[in-house]
Structure 1
Amino acid sequence: MRFYKFSNESAIWRSLAFAVCVAAMPLASSAEPMHAIAMYGEPALKPGFEHLPYANPDAPKGGTIRLAESGTYDSLNPWILMGNPVWPIFTQPGLLTESLMMRSIDEPFTLYGLLAESVDTDPDRTWVEFTLRPEARFSDGTPVTVEDVMWSYETLGTKGHPRYTAVWSKVAKMEQTGPRSVRFTFNTADRELALLMGMRPILKKTQWEGKDFSQSGLMPPIGSGPYVIDKVDAGRAISFKRNPDYWGRDLPVNKGLHNFDEVRFDYFGDASAMFEAFKAGETDMWRELVAARWDRDFDFPAVRDGRVLKSEIANQRPSGIMGLVMNTRNPIFADWRVREALIEAFNYRFINMTLSGGKDPRITSYFSNSELAMKSGPATGREAELLAPFVAELTPGTLEGYALPEGGERAIDRTGIRAALKLLEQAGWTVQDGQLRNAQGSPFAFEILLNQSGSAMRSSSETRQIVDIFVESLRNLGIRPQVTLLDSAQYVERTNNYQFDMTWYERGLSLSPGNEQLLYWGSAGVEKTGTKNWMGMKSPAAEAMIAEMGHATTQEDYRAAVRALDRILTAGRYVIPVSYSPISRLAHRSNLHYPEKTPLYGDWPGFMPETWWQEERK
């Protein structure tokens, strides 16, 4: 790391130059700066609130929580595409780095000031301005400055992961408007941008001078959050210790949060090893994703004697999408009838009974379990109006309504197989000498790529079991796919570059979807690497609905646009969906506690370990 010392003289010149710049700046807006900003309506918490409603301000501080991750890591920079990073730095908001504003997970989409003491914008949200808190500090004690903010935004927008670059392209101008203020002016009419600009991690500019930000590595980033990186055991473990000098510990948004002295993440080869470690007392918490296992596999000694408790936490967030995604960049999946045929061949009822005892409901749309989900039957009202200009390109079922096949109770669903064969024949594929081929005699061949470490929501053994049942069913269609298991690093490399035919796919969705939807489904991701558009969809209709979501000024118009997008995605038949759980099942050490009031999003980033604490039960 390089350190620079400026003389008093250069500091004077910088101050004079700043004064000149400020004098030349336009006058500030007459709008009243706010403590918070909501996507629609007013923030639930008024100025002067004492703490977030789902935090316990009296939670004791101290102790260690040991959490588990699957796979490995080779980078401490999660803000770029390269490398296999320590995801907790990115997925645990406010752990190491902070943003200008903080999201409340008890509201669909509302931000409250964190590094920024206030936010200001115009009625049409064509610009947004943030004013930093004067007390904001990095963990090394240096102040968080507007220069750090502007450098972070430009660097992330030009050298960072695609999740940042897409939004940055909509910023026409970034300018310093005061000693602690920065304004972003947009080139696109999109009301969500004012909020998104408050959610970028703020990094310390001088730490990165002379270094290539786009390269992965194990340099510990300097942040302003409540924790600092303590110990790094590359690829195997990482621990964060609470910063006793954390500048923001007394802010209302932080009261009752960040209660552990140490947060440790240990890495394991797969979910099975993680579970065994939890049973043995080597980790403190386990998220069970399968209802049948929740009922069946938690009769070990620590549960029986009360050292481990089972908690169920409800939520009202969308199911998102989870299942096997088909890469339409491969010509065999370009025809919707082929994709529908494979959905018919996937015997969901039997698979669900085998894996979860049939207890969890199926994902029937990308926004299941929420008011944003499309309704059954034909599109009506505003939804139909939004979709009408694209009727010629829409997949059958988008306007009329689309429902997934139910499947049968036996391993082979004859009804589904017959329906699949009929669809494949319509698409030009027939069974010839026991193998599915097209008119030119080319076989229907593809690879199913799997991560041997599993995924965030499914263990490797579970996804393999699902795939094995599916592969056996496909034999009845004359299809014999190749199944390939890769380690995490190889899997990330191939999926980032879309080098797969079919793979396991998971995308969590919020109650306020917006610009991130372009990263998931936008046509730029057909060729641009690193996006979440793994299916390779290219749909002007989908992009128009995403734009409409950004333009909407009422909840009704917004909801109609999301439901119309849901129709396009679901009827597109890109993913063979499985089940989801409307609750989180958390098994944890008995000395771990969480507040009685759980947030709207339930067990969501910002809840665990942020709101939890350690205390022996009376």
Structure 2
Amino acid sequence: MRLDFFLRNLARGGLWAFVLGVGFAQAAPQHGLAMYGTPALPPDFTALPYVNPDAPKGGRIVLGEAGGFDSLNPFILKGNAPWGLRLHSYESLMGRSWDEPFTLYGLLAESIETGPARDWVEFTLRPEARFHDGSPVTVEDVLWSFEILGTRGHPRYRAAWTKIASAQATGPRSIRFTFNTPDRELPLILGLRPVLKKAQWDGRDFTTSGMEAPIGSGPYQLAEAIPGRMLSLMRNPDYWGRDLAINRGQHNFDEIRYEYFGDGDVVFEAFRGGAIDVYRESSAAKWTSAYDFPAMREGQILKAEIPHQRPSGIAGFVMNTRRPVFADWRVRDAMLHAFNFEFINAMLNGGKAPRITSYFSNSELAMRSGPAEGPVRAMLEPFAESLLPGALEGYALPVSDGRPSNRKNLRAAFARLEEAGWTVGDDGMMRNAQGDALSFEILVRQGATETQQIVDIFVEQLKRLGIVVRVTAVDSAQYTQRTDTYDFDMTFYIRALSLSPGNEQRLYWGSEGVSVPGTGNLMGMQSPAAEALIDAILTAETHHQFVSATRALDRVLTTGRYVIPIWHTPVSRLAHRAWLRYPATIPAYGDWMGFLPDIWWSDLSEKE
């Protein structure tokens, strides 16, 4: 792409005559763009539907995090940067409404244009957009940001960049991207790319991890950072976008502060002791039994259950198929049978937590029970020979009787292992024909108490199969490094999924992730069927086509038996200080990005 040519000539009036003379197909500028249909909000909307537009400003909220950080650049692979910095200090051309599956409205850009086939997109910047240092956000900053992220940034940015045929400045405040690949989601993906300040990195290596944060334009600025201990973000009183309709009722706290602790148990104790203001409870059993302490009884702490409509996603123990021990699907299937979910759920959740049954369960995108039918079957049948059992015929996870013995499922696990060439030797160990023992490592993050409890029960079940398991706990930095480079056999894995799956699916399940570090493809799956179905999602022109393609992908993922799923919850459980408030209307995504602390506020009179 000839970015340098366009940037060098940006100030020359002749360039605009050249661009206009070429005769781009024109479309009317829009205030927003939806993946399907039209945006729900009109051009003159005054606030997002789930905010309190009159929320007061002021106060501080303190949030607790388990783990730590050693970098302040959240856009590169090296280092472990705090996620809160990325969310609150940087902006993109467009912003999301979390009450719609995938609709964007203007943020840094005042308008967006795209053709009927969505083979190009043009953004026009707001003239008032400013970085934290007061300098304007320019076309040059956008072009540089997209290129540096696509070529030198984190791998999650690269796929979209390879689909851009040209990137051109078409006016003093407008930029056009033309695509080389059919992908109806690309205009929205580019609308969500962060925009950074080019001049900050002149003559410097953007990929070097360190404690200098890239300059952003968002509502909060970095005030203080102590690696592994604390991060403080202060609301920018001169924030350029404070009066935009998309921002009204948001970014209400003067300070967002993150305190870091060694593990989740310590975070909870810090909450009980008043050091932090909000705690997300993942255990249904603890939600009913662990909150009888003085601050709760005295009304200083309130409990809230926030409903949502998003898919369950996948959470559980992922098996790395790059390792020979898990390359055979029958071994992975044996692990699923050996995992006594019903017993573990009873021990840790009182049996109340519903199990994740597929990657998109709890939503219309989930695969249906029984054999594949209609368009879903039509999409899968060309790959019938490579699909694993259950994809076409129907599949359900193993279910135990809830007893610790789990005899029926352990017998099924034995049978699967025998099919894969593993038998019990004279020493009681599971061995292959070469005499090698079936053994592997489970990698866990230090301080992940609930994960460790699940692992302890699982390991006892595996011992009964004659399988040797090593459990290794490492700190947050080591865990990130090892999982980014796929240096593990099995580990705990969470992949949140949205109501609008798209290009990120290739990052999660695409074959490039087998060897490229830092993708979400921890399982190392390489599936032509999955690749084709992701293409079908990206080129779907109707909601029905999109749903069918996603349901078909869900079948491929679930029957791939890559992850031993645990549970999900259709609500988020939040315990919070009584002086914290949130709107009565809950967005479709519930307690998700854009909810806490974005649309919460402090009732200072109550706090006093």
Normalised by the length of structure 1, the TM-score is 0.95
d(CA) in 1 for partners of 2:602, 2:590: 20
For the pair 1:46 / 2:42, whether they are aligned, the reply is: yes
The alpha-carbon deviation at position 532 of structure 1 amounts to 0.7
The one-letter code of the counterpart of 1:447 is E
For the pair 1:59 / 2:55, whether they are aligned, the reply is: yes
The alpha-carbon deviation at position 210 of structure 1 amounts to 2.0
The alpha-carbon deviation at position 14 of structure 1 amounts to 7.6
Name the CA shift for 1:14/1:339 in 2 (closer, same or farther; >3 Å). closer
Contact persistence 2:85–2:222 (CA under 8 A): no
The partner residue of 2:183 within 165, 178, 190 is 190
Comparing 363-372 and 18-27, the one that deviates more: 18-27
The one-letter code of the counterpart of 1:73 is F
SS of corresponding position for 1:446: strand
d(CA) in 1 for partners of 2:550, 2:347: 33
The one-letter code of the counterpart of 1:546 is I
d(CA) in 2 for partners of 1:506, 1:191: 27
The alpha-carbon deviation at position 15 of structure 1 amounts to 8.4
d(CA) in 1 for partners of 2:157, 2:399: 39
Structure 2 match to 1:37: 33
The partner residue of 2:436 within 442, 451, 454 is 442
The one-letter code of the counterpart of 2:234 is K
For the pair 1:290 / 2:286, whether they are aligned, the reply is: no
Structure 1 match to 2:590: 602
Structure 2 match to 1:409: 402
Contact persistence 2:511–2:525 (CA under 8 A): yes
Unaligned stretches of 5+ residues in structure 2: 1-6
Residue deviations 1:159-215 (CA, integer Å, cap 9, x gap): 000100111111111110111000111110010001101001110111111221111
Structure 1 match to 2:4: none
The alpha-carbon deviation at position 148 of structure 1 amounts to 0.5
SS of corresponding position for 1:33: coil
d(CA) in 2 for partners of 1:209, 1:406: 58
Residue deviations 1:28-57 (CA, integer Å, cap 9, x gap): 543111000000011000110010001111
d(CA) in 1 for partners of 2:191, 2:10: 29
d(CA) in 2 for partners of 1:102, 1:579: 31
SS of corresponding position for 1:597: coil
The partner residue of 1:84 within 80, 85, 97 is 80
Comparing 333-342 and 255-264, the one that deviates more: 333-342
The partner residue of 1:352 within 345, 363, 366 is 345
Contact persistence 1:346–1:407 (CA under 8 A): no
The alpha-carbon deviation at position 424 of structure 1 amounts to 0.5
Contact persistence 2:10–2:172 (CA under 8 A): no
Identical aligned pairs, as a percentage? 61
Structure 2 match to 1:144: 137
d(CA) in 1 for partners of 2:198, 2:369: 51
The alpha-carbon deviation at position 231 of structure 1 amounts to 1.2
Structure 2 match to 1:486: 474
The alpha-carbon deviation at position 412 of structure 1 amounts to 2.0
d(CA) in 1 for partners of 2:112, 2:467: 57
The partner residue of 1:551 within 524, 539, 563 is 539
d(CA) in 2 for partners of 1:220, 1:122: 36
The alpha-carbon deviation at position 221 of structure 1 amounts to 2.3
RMSD between aligned residues? 1.2
Structure 1 match to 2:70: 74
Residue deviations 1:389-417 (CA, integer Å, cap 9, x gap): 10000001001111001123222200011
d(CA) in 1 for partners of 2:561, 2:26: 49
Name the CA shift for 1:430/1:14 in 2 (closer, same or farther; >3 Å). closer
Normalised by the length of structure 2, the TM-score is 0.97
Structure 1 match to 2:3: none
Name the CA shift for 1:62/1:541 in 2 (closer, same or farther; >3 Å). same
The alpha-carbon deviation at position 235 of structure 1 amounts to 2.2
The one-letter code of the counterpart of 1:72 is G
The alpha-carbon deviation at position 20 of structure 1 amounts to 2.1
SS of corresponding position for 1:131: strand
Q: Which residues of 2 match residues 214-293 of structure 1 at below 5 A? A: 214-293=207-286
The partner residue of 1:427 within 409, 420, 423 is 420
Residue deviations 1:378-397 (CA, integer Å, cap 9, x gap): 00000000011100000010
The alpha-carbon deviation at position 233 of structure 1 amounts to 1.5
For the pair 1:469 / 2:457, whether they are aligned, the reply is: yes
The alpha-carbon deviation at position 27 of structure 1 amounts to 3.9
d(CA) in 1 for partners of 2:138, 2:181: 27
Structure 1 match to 2:125: 132
The partner residue of 2:106 within 113, 118, 135 is 113
SS of corresponding position for 1:365: coil
The one-letter code of the counterpart of 1:311 is A
The partner residue of 2:511 within 489, 505, 523 is 523
For the pair 1:172 / 2:168, whether they are aligned, the reply is: no
For the pair 1:204 / 2:200, whether they are aligned, the reply is: no
SS of corresponding position for 1:481: strand
For the pair 1:23 / 2:17, whether they are aligned, the reply is: yes
Structure 2 match to 1:9: none
d(CA) in 1 for partners of 2:461, 2:592: 35
